[in-house]
A = this chain, B = another copy of it.
Amino acid sequence: MTDKENLTLDPSNWEEMRKLGHRMVDDLIDYWATIREEKIWKPIPAEVKAFLDQPIPEKGQSPEDIYEEFRQYIFPYNKGNVHPRFFAWIQGTGTPLGTFADLLASGMNPNTTIGEHSAMYVDRQVVNWCKQLMNFPSEASGILVSGGSMANITALTVARNSFGEEKIRQRGLKAASAQLVLYCSVETHSCIQKAAEIIGLGTAAVRKIGVNDRFEMKIEELETQIQADLSQGLLPFCIVGTSGTVNTGAIDPMDDLLSISKKYGLWFHVDGAYGALAKLDPKYAGRLKAIEEADSLAFDLHKWLYVPYEVGCTLIRDANKHREAFAITPNYLLQESRGLSGGLDSINNYGFELSRGFKALKIWMSLKEHGREKYAQMIAQNNRQAEYLAELVNQHPDLELMAPVSMSITCFRMKRKGWDEDQLRRFNREILLRLQEEGIASPSSTILHGKYTLRVANVNQRTRMEDLDLLVKEVLRIGGEIETI
């Protein structure tokens, strides 16, 4: 065999690849530094959609050429959650150093579940930092996952497998003595129902408890339902409390949920995907204190820690139950006392995945860049911004607050005398679409008590108070331009 016969995917010219990397860095820096002046969103032209709908390439083309296509067809039509006026879904902005951490992580390219290498220690340290952020005990366990959905389903799998003497992991749910049941509110994120369906409990397992006028779970209704299920021979096993609903940022009554879960011997899981980190804002610290006592907690780092996509975290109070839910060691993964197969316990023993990237690095670099104190200030700033927006709404006779402000979400709409609910829905929907289409700002919408509302959800490290002034001004301007609907 001669050298000539060895093919590779590495570039034939490293210096050209280096230059291309520099250009990409330059373009990203320019993009971030000037994004405040740019439109938040642009409709995608038909020719762009057509370009992104062609068959697989048979032959290669140059990296420079591909990058030009990226600049022309992909980069300009970005979602916008990097922009200071993105308020739609609860999606963070990311940071420049967080992105550069992703560059380094991808360049090192370790599969970070097994083996003795530095990424495993960074991952462990970051999980420990997550426990410290949440004031979870140091002997708790945790795992980094793609985000809230995976964090919740991971926790609920542990909760299900830890239930009683049913041995569900081994025997399956068919052999359980009755249907397992979990409790959440009607405002709980849809991923909880999805998780129950995926792990085999079915929609049948999910009891959606009503909420009060602040959209928080009604405790009496919860207890009544648990007793009803018990008296029917069903098996209540878990209460899910939400720390920050996606609709309004409502916080379920954590102290009460903790008490009830203890009273009935149920697993207490907190979905804090969006709002567990509000704990760092003194205004919310008291109401969220009880999540430190939860059996499990799910929260996202790409939301309110402003880390680039994707990364969430599951914490489990009882590390043994966590490991017992997932650990498997096949022959090809035997651990050694030395060499590449030495080191820490496989992360595969704590979750679904044996393949995962080095997502810990961006959290590691971000927490070192800013420190816990700065994050606490940023989170508090988003909360104050939501309150400021509510003040602006309350001050204007044509605007109406649609829910109490909780955390960093403000729901409001524009009023018009004599219009019915359906007209108001179409009116505010049109305002929303024009805000987006004109590239001004991206709130989203939802339905509260049957009423359509604009929804401003903010986990944005780039938002300034002036952005909220502008938002209100533009809502009023667009609303004023709409005469009939």
Contact = CB atoms under 8 A, between A and B. Distances in A.
A3 interface: yes
Given A6-B465, A93-B109, A368 B338 contact: no
A484 interface: no
B437 A79 contact: no
A362 B9 CA distance: 14
Contact of A388 (B1, B77, B157, B466): B1
A190 interface: yes
B60 A368 contact: yes
Nearest to A352: B149
Given A340-B41, A355-B148, A355-B310, A14 B29 contact: yes
A77 to B, nearest CB: 4
A409 B358 CA distance: 26
B198 A77 contact: no
A180 B174 CA distance: 9
Contacts of A191: 354
A185 to B, nearest CB: 13
| Residue of A17, A160, A309, A348 with most chain B CB atoms under a 10 A cut-off | A309
A369 B412 CA distance: 48
A149 B354 contact: yes
Contacts of A29: 14, 17-18, 21
A26 to B, nearest CB: 7
A312 interface: yes
Interface in A12-49: 14, 17-18, 20-22, 24-26, 28-29, 31-33, 41, 43-44, 48-49
Contacts of A461: 8-10
Contacts of A190: 328-330, 333, 354
Interface in A428-485: 429, 432-433, 436-437, 442, 444-447, 455, 461-466
A172 B172 contact: no
Contacts of A22: 22, 25
Given A9-B461, A352-B198, A369 B108 contact: no
Contacts of A110: 78-79, 81, 309
A373 interface: yes
A264 interface: no
| Residue of A57, A172, A463 with most chain B CB atoms under a 10 A cut-off | A172
A53 B128 CA distance: 9
A247 interface: yes
Contact of A24 (B73, B80, B103, B334): B103
Interface residues of A, number: 186
A366 B399 CA distance: 50
A28 B103 contact: yes
A110 to B, nearest CB: 4
A340 B446 contact: no
Given A175-B179, A373-B59, A111 B89 contact: yes
A247 B258 CA distance: 47
Contacts of A75: 104, 108, 118
Contact of A44 (B73, B118, B171): B118
Interface stretch (A201-209, A287-295, A416-424): A201-209
A92 B172 CA distance: 35
Nearest to A362: B106
Given A11-B96, A353-B149, A108 B82 contact: yes
A286 interface: no
Interface stretch (A214-222, A224-232, A374-382, A400-408): A374-382
B355 A300 contact: yes
B464 A6 contact: yes
B122 A247 contact: no
A66 interface: yes
A96 B368 contact: no
Given A82-B109, A173-B174, 14 more contacts: A14-B33, A24-B100, A25-B25, A44-B117, A52-B124, A66-B365, A79-B115, A80-B117, A88-B340, A99-B107, A103-B103, A146-B353, A174-B202, A336-B429
28 contacts: A3-B466, A7-B374, A10-B96, A11-B96, A22-B22, A28-B104, A41-B340, A48-B121, A53-B125, A56-B129, A69-B368, A74-B108, A75-B104, A78-B110, A78-B117, A100-B103, A111-B302, A112-B309, A146-B146, A147-B356, A150-B353, A157-B198, A170-B203, A172-B180, A175-B179, A191-B354, A302-B355, A341-B445
The 6 closest A-B pairs by CB, nearest first: A200-B200, A147-B355, A172-B202, A102-B106, A21-B25, A77-B118
